[in-house]
Amino acid sequence: MTNQSKDPALKLVNVTVRLGGDYILKDVNLEISHGETLVIIGPSGSGKTVLLKTMAGIYKPEKGHVYCEGEDWQNLKSNEKIKLARKIGMQFQKSALFDSLDAFENVAFPLREHTKMTEAEIELKVKECLSSVGLLDAIHLMPYELSGGMQQRLGIARSLALNPEIIFYDDPTAGLDPINTDTLLELIAQLKSHFHSTIIMVTHSLNCAYKMADRIVLVGNKQVVLAGSVEETQKSTHPLVRQFVAGELEGPLKWD
Ligand SMILES: Nc1ncnc2c1ncn2[C@@H]1O[C@H](COP(=O)(O)OP(=O)(O)O)[C@@H](O)[C@H]1O
Ligand SMILES: [Mg+2]
């Protein structure tokens, strides 16, 4: 699904987020275009997940505005919020599958919640999603019967169910071996070119960032630093970016 509107897919204007009394992000400004793949890197505990959830309208900024497809999350009534949220797919850390539901029901869940599709339409859509991630054979398996890589792919199948325009991935390759990591990244890239979606992906791995990103941002010391393209990131003279890329403990960037 493509969006022809002139608004950026996402726009953050002077966004400050405070959780449990602590400032997590301060004065973040960022714009993401339709069809772009933005990768978020940074030390653990730096606020990558918080940034992702703020973009998705889950966390409210204390100050500033988050526009999704031109709409300010904070100004929306709850029915409008639900409508906007339908344009978004999310795969959170550890894939957050429903342990008591099989693969079919995991993917069917958002369809049952958010659409009035008939059972036959749901079955067709679920099979399409599972087949796009190579899991059609696992349709009646429970999450615990799947390998780590398969669980991540099932999470992706579920995030695709509502044909999202923007997909958020929170460290999708965490805990995967190198082969499964490459397979999963390849799959995300294929699905993106098929659905023309905008992708915002958090990763702890610079390699993943370099493989996937149109642009890279670094979260650290409560700031969000736009490092630019892969090449610009590698050549960046910004002290936080330089330290992270070099993987050095000593420097201005605070590690957990
Ligand atoms: N709901 C919350 N309430 C209070 N503090 C939170 C909440 N979610 C995250 N934090 C804190 O925000 C900081 C950033 O967390 P997070 O975004 O999860 O880091 P990461 O970069 O590893 O994804 C951490 O110090 C974490 O403890
Ligand atoms: Mg996180």
Q: Where are the domains of the chain?
A: 1-87+165-256, 94-163
Rounded CA-CA distance 201/48 in Å is 10
Portion of the chain with pLDDT greater than 70, in percent: 96
Region of poorest pLDDT, from 38-42, 82-86, 123-127: 82-86
CATH topology of domain 1-87+165-256: Rossmann fold (3.40.50)
Per-residue pLDDT tens for 157-202? 898 888 899 999 999 888 888 888 898 898 899 888 888 899 999 9
> Is 21 close to ligand 1, i.e. is its CB under 6 Å away?
no
Reference 219, options 10, 70, 15; nearest CA is 15
> Is 143 close to ligand 1, i.e. is its CB under 6 Å away?
no
Strand residue runs (E) in 160-202: 166-170, 198-202
Contact by Cβ (8 Å): 143, 154? yes
* Mean pLDDT for all residues in the chain: 92
Which atom of ligand 1 has the smallest separation from the CA of 59? 1
> Is 44 close to ligand 1, i.e. is its CB under 6 Å away?
yes
Which atom of ligand 1 has the smallest separation from the CA of 19? 4
Contact by Cβ (8 Å): 46, 82? no
Per-residue pLDDT tens for 83-105? 898 899 888 766 678 999 999 99
Contact by Cβ (8 Å): 41, 218? yes
Amino acid residing at 116: K
Q: Which ligand is nearest to the CA of 218?
A: 1
Q: DSSP assignment, residue 74?
A: G
Stretch 42-64: mean pLDDT, rounded?
95
Reference 107, options 83, 93, 94, 91; nearest CA is 91
